[in-house]
Amino acid sequence: MTVSSSALVQERRAVADACGRLEAAGLLFGTSGNVSVRAGNLVAVTATGAELARLTAEQVTVVDLDGNVVSGSLRPTSELGLHLGVYRRYGAGAVVHTHAPTATALSCVLDELPCIHYQLIALGGTVRVAPYATFGTPELAESVLAALDGRSAALMASHGSVTTGATLDQAVENALLLEWACDVYRRAASVGTPRVLDAEQQLAVVEAAIARNYGTTQPLREDRP
């Protein structure tokens, strides 16, 4: 599938806008973190060393699924292998990697983030922590890909977090949700042992969400004779 030049402009701008949104929420700072979105066989991805809060569309690089640069003048993020691995293995539409404070803190002490709140089910339930490996290495990419199996979020031991989505907006929302859930866990753990939803409780949430079309606005229905 070929992507038009106008679509490339839109995707690059969307990546820059997403970085601004994540920075405003406190999930990105300085040059740490990276964001990408897939459009057909091409990927718009943040450049290595770019200051993400001030990122412009021109500072977003476009690569193919083999990592070859096809547009842009800057070298792509050092975590490009992770992003491309997510696209190849899971067919996601976007990837967000941050060093969000609470998620990163928990990645230093937990083996997994348990499903303590029903909203975590939107990420697949329990969030796995990928074993530590040096940033930008194939070993890190592979460990994170394994942690993402059946999930749209993972923590990276002593590093940060990664979320995926069918769209860039969804990947960003998942990053915000993960950081919120990590903060809830941190607060709960400071006063006691957090309760964990078991498999039956999680299934009941899924069934209720489907039955009620949870998460979407719905008009009031007037009774008709």
Q: Which residues are catalytic?
A: 79
- Name the 3-class secondary structure at 73: coil
Helix (H) or strand (E) holding 36: strand 34-39
Rounded to 5 degrees, φ, ψ at 96 are -125, 125
Return the amino acid letter for 128.
R
Q: Are 50 and 20 in contact (CB under 8 A)?
A: no
Other CB atoms within 10 Å distance of the CB of residue 75: 13
**What's the CA gap between 126 and 60, in Å, rounded?**
33
**What's the CA gap between 210 and 41, in Å, rounded?**
33
Please name the residues in contact with 125: beta carbons below 8 A apart, sequence gap of 6 or more: 115, 151, 202
